[in-house]
Amino acid sequence: MSRRSTHRRWLAALLGLGLALTAAASPAPPSEATVRHYTVPLIKARLRLPESLQDLQITHLAPTADDPARFTVRLSFKAKTPFGSLTPHSAAFLMKRGASGRFWVVTAE
């Protein structure tokens, strides 16, 4: 075996290892149930009539450009005003998995 082919094999192995580490480092986005679990209490806290929350939909869920482990979540929903009319609303949050990996940290965008 020549020296050149040995170097090529080492380089290929290192590149393959780097790609595997990169793929393993990018976490999976939160599920729809997880997004609802963490964001519904925050949305209800903002509303004057929390029990009037209706038609909650996730309109956008994607990793941010600067940190692939942090996800932008945009929600649309309807809620009643104090006058009784149903109006559309939207909210945006940033979600990132906590240090222990068992919970999510949610901040308003």
Give the model confidence (pLDDT) of 32-56 as tens digits. 999 999 999 999 999 999 999 999 9
Is residue 100 domain-resident? yes
Q: In this structure, how many other beta carbons lie within 10 angstroms of the beta carbon of residue 47?
A: 15
**Residue 10 forms part of a structural domain:** no
Distances (CA, A) of 56 to 16, 39, 49: 42, 10, 15
Distance CA 72, CA 11 (A): 36
Number of domains making up the chain: 1
In a domain, 53, yes or no: yes
Closest CA to 32 of 61, 68, 53: 61
Q: Is residue 85 part of a domain?
A: yes
Domain that residue 65 falls in? 27-108
Task: Summarize pLDDT for 47-101 with one digit per residue, the tens.
Answer: 999 999 999 999 999 999 999 899 999 999 999 999 999 999 999 999 999 988 8
- pTM for the whole structure: 0.71
Q: Is residue 17 part of a domain?
A: no
Q: Is residue 1 part of a domain?
A: no
35: nearest Cα among 7, 8, 62:
62
**What 8-state DSSP symbol labels residue 68?**
T
pLDDT band with cut points at 50, 70 and 90 for residue 20: very low
Is 50 part of any domain? Answer: yes
Q: Is 9 domain-assigned?
A: no
